[in-house]
A and B are shown apart, each in its own frame.
Chain A
Amino acid sequence: MNRYLRLIRELGKMSLMNSLEYRTDLAVVGIFKLLESATSFIILIFIFNQVKQIADWDRTEVLLVNLTFIISTSITSLFLMPGLKQFARELNDGVIDKYLVQPINLQFFASLAKWDCTHIFRLVGAGVAVVYLILTQLDGITLMAILEYNLMIFLSAIFFYSFVFILICSVFFLNRLYNIDYLAAILWDPGKWPTSIFRGMWGIVFMTIVPVGFAATVPVGVLTGRHGGIFVVAGVLLAGVFLIISNKVLAAGIRRYAGAGG
């Protein structure tokens, strides 16, 4: 366990040093990513100047859903997505042998090999905005609700990560697809809206086939009391199941893998 913690520290240090080498790029991209997130706010604020609710969600709740989505995806984009993107590219090229010869868990190494520090700005910005909204707009939020909310954000990141990983591992069995990680991010994108806006066919697609509700709607529901403790239990179980499935799919894929050097 200590070995893995030490590895995380070293990988983080390397990524940070690499980012600081291009520090102008880090600052410019980081700030623009923050601004990109701010643009979605302008839209929501505009919409709520015209309407009071969207599918029985009020302004504060919808803003919280949007911010929670930003936090959750920033966590995965910061720590996991860069490594996964590289893994996906190398898997498509058939050159993942370097992962196989390491004396550490393959999924761990493939997922955490690279970090993207530009997402720190977005993560901090969204975090500050959530704290502000909780303090000024929400009444009667208990410490327990805040703890559950944080747990649900963590689970949401695990959900998304497992979802991406399963999709990437599908390359072992299906066709080559160089931008498969990108596909996962697109499918997760509806999670920035409360899921009750999706009706009919869209509801089936975005709530059953791709469980985007766990991206932000459920965490915010747990915070505001819309969703009870049963959702926390369900979240823990489902995230665990997704993580195990991602591991099993990788193991099955490795058994089929025939590399081309690298």
Chain B
Amino acid sequence: MSFMRKYGAVLAMQTKDAFAYRLEGLVFFCADLMAPLLMMVAWKTIFESQPDVAGYTINQILFYYLLIFILRTTLSVYPHDISNQIRTGKLNASLVRPVSILINQLASEIAWKIVRIMFLAVAVVLLVITFFGGVAIPNLQLISLPLLISLVNALLLNYFIKTIIEFTAFWTSEVDGLRSSFYILESFFSGTILPLNLLPGGIEALAQLLPFRFFYYFPIQIMLGKVSNGEIISNILISWGWLLFAIIVTRLLIRRGLKRYSAFSG
């Protein structure tokens, strides 16, 4: 109970903070919107000259990007504050608080999600009106346990893998390089730019070996009903393996990093 009350208070505080910076939230939201929006516009033009591309129909491809947009907005996290705190020494303040750094940051991410989901509802309505007038809506499987598991797993995996990068700040003074490199790989191998099964063979095989596909691509495949029950189970087990690995590495980095961390004031 004390745990719930404590982290409930943290979430409430972070939500107030996120609402105070709602305009900034709107800008980041627009960034999430722009890439899929451009791809939707481009694909709509491409489909004017032919009925299908690589086995995809216009409604399938437009829905794919709509779902990518929705999942990116709700599941993608940006825990940049962790490395910033380490670099500036502000981590001192976090260390003496009776709140876990990891959970505090996760609460902040969830708070920002609440602001973004507000914008999301409006944007989805506008996109549906603009792009889907006269387009048949595919049969989506939105209520299922595997989908729920894959979504929760996507959020946690997204969070823990990104925190690994942020905690490397204990050893390097600059994590921007590693972070931007990671985001490039993520956007390519998570299916954000193009559905993974449309990528050339070798690249698709590489994408299957990496954890990024569990961020958005795998949940979307479940929604679109494109994976069998056996594939769902094996993929969920693989994603749990990745999540466990990410949690272990994160905790190891925190433990080792704190031993060499030193800062004045904060």
Contact = CB atoms under 8 A, between A and B. Distances in A.
Interface of A: 22, 24-26, 28-29, 32-33, 35-36, 39-40, 42-43, 46-47, 50-51, 53-55, 118, 175, 177-180, 182-183, 186, 189-190, 192-193, 197-199, 201-202
Contact of A39 (B24, B27, B30, B193): B193
Contact of B27 (A33, A36, A118, A186): A186
Contacts of B228: none
B53 interface: yes
A29 B177 contact: yes
B50 A42 contact: no
Contacts of A183: 27, 30
A186 to B, nearest CB: 5
B23 A177 contact: yes
B46 A47 contact: yes
B181 A186 contact: no
7 contacts: A28-B178, A43-B193, A54-B46, A179-B28, A186-B30, A189-B38, A199-B45
B42 interface: yes
B137 interface: no
Contacts of B45: 54-55, 197, 199
A116 B49 CA distance: 42
B38 A193 contact: yes
B54 A50 contact: yes
Interface string B185-206: 0011000011000111001000
A39 B38 contact: no
Contact of B174 (A22, A55, A192): A22
B18 to A, nearest CB: 13
Given A179-B27, A193-B38, A35 B184 contact: yes
A39 B46 contact: no
A51 B50 contact: yes
A186 B23 contact: no
B180 A186 contact: no
B252 interface: no
Binding site secondary structure of chain B: helix
Interface string B21-35: 101100110110011
A193 B41 CA distance: 10
Given A50-B53, A53-B49, A197-B42, A25 B30 contact: no
A182 to B, nearest CB: 6
B130 interface: yes
A55 B42 CA distance: 9
**Interface band, chain B:** 35 or more
Nearest to A206: B41
Contacts of A25: 174, 176-177
A43 B194 contact: yes
Contacts of B173: 22
Contacts of A192: 38
B123 to A, nearest CB: 14
Contacts of A50: 46, 50, 53-54
Contacts of B21: 178
B27 A46 contact: no
Contacts of B199: 42, 46
Contacts of A33: 180, 184
Nearest to B40: A202
Interface in B161-189: 173-174, 176-178, 180-181, 184, 187-188
Nearest to B198: A46
Contacts of B194: 43, 46
B180 A29 contact: yes
A26 B180 CA distance: 12
A178 B24 contact: yes
A33 B180 CA distance: 8
A172 to B, nearest CB: 16
B49 A51 contact: yes
A180 B30 CA distance: 12
A39 B187 CA distance: 10
Nearest to A30: B177
A35 B50 CA distance: 31
Contacts of B130: 201
B188 A39 contact: yes
A42 B42 contact: no
A42 B53 CA distance: 16
Given A50-B53, A186-B34, A198-B41, A177 B181 contact: no
Contacts of B53: 47, 50-51
A127 to B, nearest CB: 20
Given A50-B46, A54-B42, A179-B24, 10 more contacts: A33-B184, A36-B184, A47-B46, A50-B53, A51-B50, A179-B27, A190-B34, A197-B41, A201-B130, A202-B41
